[in-house]
Chain A
Amino acid sequence: MDGIILQQLINGLTLGSVYGLIAIGYTMVYGIIGMINFAHGEVYMISAYIAAITLAILAFFGLESFPLLILGTLLFTIAVTGVYGFVIERIAYKPLRNSTRLAPLISAIGMSLILQNYVQLSQGARQQGVPTLLDGALKFHIGEGFVQLTYTKVFILVAAFLGMAVLTYVIQRTKLGRMCRATQQDRKMASILGINTDRVISYVFVIGAAMAALAGVLITMNYGTFDFYAGFIIGIKAFTAAVLGGIGSLPGAMLGGIILGIAEAQFSGMVNTDYKDVFSFSLLVLILIFRPQGLLGRPHVAKV
Chain B
Amino acid sequence: MSQKIFRKGFLALAVTTALSISSVVEADIVIGVAGPHTGANASFGEQYWRGATQAADDINAAGGVNGEKIKLVKADDACEPKQAVSVANRLVDQDKAIGVVGHFCSSSTIPASEVYDEAGIIAITPGSTNPQVTERGLSGMFRMCGRDDQQGIVAGDYIVDVLKAKKVAIIHDKDTYGQGLADATKAQLAKRGVKEVLYEGLTRGEKDFNALVTKIRASGAEVVYFGGLHPEAGPLVRQMREQGLTAKFLSGDGIVTDELVTTAGGPQYTKGVLMTFGADPRKIEDGKAVIEKFRAAGFEPEGYTLYAYASLQALAAAFAGAGANDPAKASEWLKSHPVQTVMGKKEWDGKGDLKVSDYVIYEWDDAGKYHQQ
Enumerate chain A interface residues (CB-CB to B < 8 A).
1, 4, 7-8, 11-12, 14-15, 120, 124-132, 137, 139, 145-146, 148, 150, 219, 223-227, 229-230, 232-233, 264-266, 268-269, 272-274, 276-277
Contact B215 A269 (CB under 8 A): yes
Q: Are A272 and B200 in contact (CB under 8 A)?
A: yes
The 9 A-B residue pairs whose C-beta atoms are closest, nearest first, are A224-B265, A268-B211, A125-B42, A11-B210, A129-B262, A265-B211, A225-B263, A274-B201, A148-B244
Q: List the A side residues contacting B207 at CB < 8 Å.
A: 219, 223, 225-226, 230
Q: Could you tell me if A148 and B242 are in contact, using CB atoms closer than 8 angstroms?
A: yes
- B208 nearest CB across to chain A (Å): 5
Chain A residues with CB under 8 A of B218: 1, 4, 145, 269
**Partner-contacting stretch, out of B20-28, B82-90, B228-236:** B228-236
| Cα(A225)–Cα(B265), bound, Å | 7
Determine whether the beta carbon of A273 is less than 8 Å from that of B238.
Answer: no
Complex contact A223–B235 (CB within 8 A): yes
Q: Please, which residues of chain A bring their CB within 8 A of the CB of B264?
A: 129, 224-225
Min Cβ gap B155→A in Å is 21
Interface contacts beyond A1-B218, A219-B207, A277-B203: sample of 4 additional A-B pairs, CB < 8 Å, sorted by A: A128-B262, A131-B266, A272-B200, A274-B200
By a CB distance below 8 angstroms, the chain A residues around B268 are 132
The reply to whether A130 and B243 form a contact with Cβ atoms under 8 Å apart is no
B259–A8 touching, CB < 8 Å: no
**Chain B residue at minimum C-beta to C-beta distance from A261:** B208
Chain B interface extent, by class: 35 or more
Chain B residues near A145: list those with CB within 8 A: 218
Interface residues of B in 307-321 (CB under 8 A from A): none
- Interface residues in B200-230 (C-beta closer than 8 Å to A): 200-203, 205-208, 210-212, 214-215, 217-218, 230
Interface positions of B from 235 to 275, Cβ below 8 Å from A: 235, 238-239, 242-244, 259, 261-266, 268
14 contacts between A and B (CB under 8 A): A11-B208, A11-B211, A124-B42, A125-B37, A125-B42, A130-B265, A224-B235, A225-B235, A230-B207, A233-B206, A265-B214, A269-B211, A269-B214, A273-B200
In the bound complex, how far is the Cα of B265 from the Cα of A132, in angstroms? 6
Contacts of A124 in B (CB 8 A): 42
* B9 CB-CB contact with A under 8 Å: no
B40 within 8 A of A: yes
A137 touches B242 (CB 8 A): yes
Q: Is B340 an interface residue (CB 8 A)?
A: no
Known: A223-B235, A224-B266, A268-B212. A273 touches B202 (CB 8 A): yes
Question: Known contacts A11-B210, A223-B208, A273-B202; is A126 also within 8 Å of B266 by CB?
Answer: no
Distance, CA A61 to CA B101, complexed state (A): 46
**Do B234 and A225 touch (CB < 8 A)?**
yes
Do A120 and B266 have beta carbons less than 8 Å apart? no
Q: For A232, list chain B residues within 8 Å (CB).
A: 205
B39: interface (CB < 8 Å): yes
Contact indicator B215/A268 (Cβ below 8 Å): yes
**B238 touching A229, Cβ below 8 Å:** no
Q: For residue B205, which residues in chain A have a CB less than 8 angstroms away from its CB? A: 229, 232-233
Most buried by A among B201, B208, B235: B208
Task: Please report whether the interface of chain A is mostly helix, strand, loop or mixed according to DSSP.
Answer: mixed
Contact, CB under 8 Å: A223 / B238: yes
Q: Contact at A120–B235, with CB atoms within 8 Å? A: no
Contacts of B42 in A (CB 8 A): 124-126
Please report the C-alpha to C-alpha distance between residue A233 and residue B209 in the assembled complex, in whole angstroms: 14
A129–B207 Cα distance when bound, in Å, is 12
Whether the pair B243, A7 counts as a contact (CB closer than 8 A) is yes
Quick one: which of B75-115 are within 8 Å of A by CB? none
Contact in complex: A7, B39 (CB < 8 Å): no
Contact A125 B211 (CB under 8 A): no
Asked if residues B244 and A137 are in contact (CB atoms below 8 Å), the reply is: yes
| B43 on the A face (CB < 8 A) | yes
Q: Find out whether the CB atom of B244 lies under 8 angstroms from the CB atom of A139.
A: yes
Give a binary string over B333-354; 1 marks a CB under 8 Å from any A CB, 0 the rest.
0000000000000000000000
CA A193 to CA B287, docked complex, whole Å: 78
Tell me, in angstroms, the Cα distance from A1 to B174 when the chains sit together: 27
Instruction: Let me know if A227 and B231 touch, CB within 8 A.
Output: yes
Closest chain B residue to A272 by CB distance?
B200
- Flag whether B16 is at the interface (Cβ < 8 A): no
| A127 CA / B311 CA spacing, docked (Å) | 27
Whether B211 pairs with A273 at a CB distance below 8 angstroms is yes
Chain A residue with the shortest CB-CB distance to B242? A150
B38 close to A (CB within 8 Å): yes
Interchain CA distance A144-B95 in the complex, whole Å: 64
Are the CB atoms of A125 and B40 closer together than 8 Å?
yes
A8 touching B244 in the complex, CB below 8 Å, given contacts A224-B264, A227-B40: no
Decide: A126 near B238, CB < 8 A? Known: A7-B243, A273-B202: no
- Rounded to whole Å, the gap between the CB of A57 and the closest CB of chain B is 19
A8 to B261, CA, bound (A): 26
User: Is B39 a contact partner of A125 (Cβ separation < 8 A)?
Assistant: yes
Which of B238, B239, B265 is packed against the most chain A CB atoms within 10 Å? B265
Residues of B within 8 A of A127 (CB): 40, 43, 230-231, 234, 259, 262-263
A139 to B265, CA, bound (A): 21
Which B residues are CB-close (under 8 A) to A230?
207
Please give, as numbers and ranges, the residues of chain A lying within 8 Å of B202 by CB-CB distance. Answer: 273
Complex formed: what's the CA distance from A269 to B203 in Å?
15
B242, A125: Cβ atoms closer than 8 Å:
no
Task: Report the nearest A residue to B231, measured CB to CB.
Answer: A127
Closest to A262 in B: B211
Interface centre among B201, B211, B215, B268 (most CB of A within 10 A): B211
Give the contacting residue for B214; candidates A11, A128, A132, A233; CB below 8 A.
A11
Shortest distance from the beta carbon of B205 to any chain A beta carbon, whole Å: 5
Interface centre among B37, B218, B235 (most CB of A within 10 A): B218
Which single residue of chain B is at the shortest CB-CB distance from A5?
A: B214
Chain B residues in 8 Å Cβ range of A274: 174, 200-201
Please measure, in the bound complex, the distance between the C-alpha atom of A15 and the C-alpha atom of B203, giving whole angstroms. 15
List chain B residues, Cβ under 8 A from A148: 242-244
